[in-house]
Amino acid sequence: MTDPRAFAAEWIAAWNAHDLERILSFYAQDVVFLSPHALARVGTGRVEGVGGLRRYWGLALEAQPALRFEFQSALVGYECVTILYRNHHGRHAAESFEFDADGKVSRSIACYGAG
């Protein structure tokens, strides 16, 4: 697995740059992403594959030009890391990433605080 702090810093920086291709570069082609926000944008809370993420996040970035993440902490698990952060609305979020043998994210789960 990649260095968790380096991964977190690079992931946050990619989002803050609104660089969709840079964001997608972290993910395996067959990634599975779970998020309650995806349901509203693309009709399902389970997004599969980089193409699915490109569609979902492309819409999300377009709809939220002020989007920005503030890193809080990185928690390390077995072949995984969870990044805790706040978004541009001050809302807490946690995203857990499971890595494949190539160091790419194979599964990711996003959870959000009330707000």
Is residue 41 within 8 A of residue 56, CB to CB? The reply is yes
What pLDDT sits at residue 41?
85
Q: Quote the pTM value.
A: 0.92
**Domain limits at 63?**
4-112
The pLDDT value given to residue 1:
58
Average pLDDT by consecutive 10-residue portion of the chain (115 residues)? 86 97 98 93 93 94 94 93 94 96 96 84
* Tally of structural domains, the chain: 1
Residues 93 and 70: their CA atoms lie apart, in Å, by 10
We report the CATH number of the domain holding residue 97 as: 3.10.450.50
